[in-house]
Amino acid sequence: MGQEITVRHIGDDEAAIVASLAVDAFAEYAAAMSPDAWSAFAREIASVGSGPSDDEILVAQRNGDIVGTLVSYTHWEGAQTDACNIRMIAVAPAHRGAGIAKALLTDAIDRCRRAGKSRVVMAINAEMGPGRSLCERLGFERYPAMDHMPAPGIHVQGYQLLL
Ligand SMILES: CC(C)(COP(=O)(O)OP(=O)(O)OC[C@H]1O[C@@H](n2cnc3c(N)ncnc32)[C@H](O)[C@@H]1OP(=O)(O)O)[C@@H](O)C(=O)NCCC(=O)NCCS
């Protein structure tokens, strides 16, 4: 399999492909959630592409196929204006371990920097070990101010990268 990975904005007609990829990517965590919590989470993920216009949705393409995605909020609700909030990093299971998430996140961080932001923040479910390792690998540090519990038993941990 070729290794060339390109990162770009989502295309006009790609929201359904990206939503399906993202739900499939996170499905491994369904068993760790209550059915209600997973169904709410899956609905939220599947709504990617229908959010406010300041969501920046990036996709990673490999050999012509979309194999990964992330969302960057430049003006996320409740945030200080100096931060970008990156969420929903998702890579198709068959393409993991090839640097696709790293390429997406690096590109998104560069975009935040170019937008004049001084921080990138992320909130990651405590169950999602690979996501936490990915952030730490790229220099993020724990940011407890963003820790919260969106549903009973779901612990979300904040991470921050100073630009
Ligand atoms: C987390 C996820 C996005 C990683 O995607 P990926 O393309 O396989 O990651 P990469 O190949 O770019 O790996 C980048 C770094 O992340 C870390 N990492 C990735 N997968 C890992 C795993 N399974 N275990 C431990 N660390 C992992 C490593 O530090 C890796 O760097 P290294 O290979 O140089 O050591 C992918 O597993 C996924 O989609 N998971 C389900 C959704 C999710 O949990 N998203 C994160 C929370 S928003």
Q: Is the CB of 90 under 6 A from ligand 1?
A: yes
The 3-state DSSP class for residue 64 equals: coil
pTM score, two decimals? 0.93
Element of type H or E holding 24 = helix 15-26
Rounded mean pLDDT, 44-63: 83
Residue scoring higher pLDDT (80 or 26): 26
| Domain spans, the chain | 5-162
Q: Is the CB of 100 under 6 A from ligand 1?
A: yes
**pLDDT at position 75:** 73
Rounded mean pLDDT, 67-77: 85
Nearest atom (ligand 1) to Cα of 125: 47
Mutation test residue for ligand 1: of 102, 105, 159, the one with most atoms within 8 Å of CB: 102
Question: Do the beta carbons of residue 29 and residue 78 sit within 8 Å?
Answer: no
The CATH number, out of the four listed (3.40.630.30, 3.40.50.2300, 3.30.420.40, 3.40.50.20), of the domain defined by the range 5-162 = 3.40.630.30
Q: Is the CB of 102 under 6 A from ligand 1?
A: yes
**pLDDT at position 2:** 54
Task: Give yes or no for residue 27 having a pLDDT over 90.
Answer: yes
Question: Do the beta carbons of residue 73 and residue 84 sit within 8 Å?
Answer: yes
Residue scoring higher pLDDT (75 or 16): 16
